[in-house]
Structure 1
């Protein structure tokens, strides 16, 4: 005679295994597209990096008591001395020359302009608050205030 002792059997039932597979599939279906679409992360990260670069240019102008320019194009931001043509390049925080911050793919800067800080760290020839737009997956703004040069 064969006796069945179900109380001591261990393992998962087929229903439990199927539910776990379904839950894992739903989570993967939601998470994977977000991980593959990096443009949103790149846009926000570059906006933060650009704001830090503009702040550094302002601090460099004050520390070296000279004019510093930030040349913005659709594909990069570069620090330089002397004039807006960037004939004389300014060093970056680690001393690297030229200090250029390249825009990641799928992201662009507008407007293409040159921002000028005087030796006191004040922006020169800004008619109003400068709104630098970082466009990619959405738009992030880097503002430079007209009077003080405050970057946010």
Structure 2
């Protein structure tokens, strides 16, 4: 039988498989952020909300920890005594103590975090893990980069989850 030139079936399947993997994972990263940053910021915000909720559930009644958002930056802080109101002072900016102890997260330009059309807000929880203030009846946080929007829901009883 004369020798023929060409690919075997196994080689063809392997090439198609490798091209599929590249198309799904590698190429979107080369072409841009591909939605990865919005997922990362959403996941960090979700984790930080759950941390603040858990800390509030385990602190003495006179102390409180809250999540401070001055979009797109956010951090958490703890008070020895709870302030009478949400004391978000965006004019003074982020203090050095808040930047280090509150583990300030600063997403890249173009990202925004909002709650009820406000980019500056404070979120707190009671000792039972339920949200207080403007989120007492439940609320939705929006994380956006201008093209995509991701949502986090805080239920009135304290369940915090991503909305697909």
What is the TM-score when the length of structure 2 is the normalising length? 0.63
- Paired position in structure 1 for 2:51: 56
Relative distance call for 1:39 and 1:110 in structure 2 (3 A) is farther
- Paired position in structure 2 for 1:138: 148
Question: How many aligned positions are there?
Answer: 135
What is the rounded CA distance, in whole Å, between the counterparts of 2:140 and 2:114 in structure 1? 9
- Paired position in structure 2 for 1:150: 159
Asked if the contact 1:115/1:123 (under 8 Å) is kept, the reply is yes
- Paired position in structure 1 for 2:103: 99
Asked if the contact 1:46/1:104 (under 8 Å) is kept, the reply is no
What is the rounded CA distance, in whole Å, between the counterparts of 1:72 and 1:64 in structure 2? 22
Larger radius of gyration: 1
What is the rounded CA distance, in whole Å, between the counterparts of 1:55 and 1:123 in structure 2? 11
Deviations 1:63-118 (A, max 9, x none): 2233221111212111123333368x789xxxx61222222333211132211112
Question: CA-atom RMSD, angstroms?
Answer: 3.6
What is the rounded CA distance, in whole Å, between the counterparts of 1:69 and 1:116 in structure 2? 5
Q: Name the SS of the counterpart of 2:108 in structure 1.
A: coil
Structure 1 residue ranges (4+ consecutive) displaced by more than 6 angstroms after TM superposition: none
Give the drift of 1:34: 1.6
What is the rounded CA distance, in whole Å, between the counterparts of 2:109 and 2:34 in structure 1? 8
Give the drift of 1:122: 2.1
What is the rounded CA distance, in whole Å, between the counterparts of 2:160 and 2:67 in structure 1? 13
What is the rounded CA distance, in whole Å, between the counterparts of 1:30 and 1:107 in structure 2? 26
Of 113, 117, 129, the residue aligned with 2:125 is 117
What is the rounded CA distance, in whole Å, between the counterparts of 2:152 and 2:64 in structure 1? 21
What is the TM-score when the length of structure 1 is the normalising length? 0.67
5+ residue gaps, structure 2: 89-94
Q: Name the SS of the counterpart of 1:103 in structure 2.
A: coil
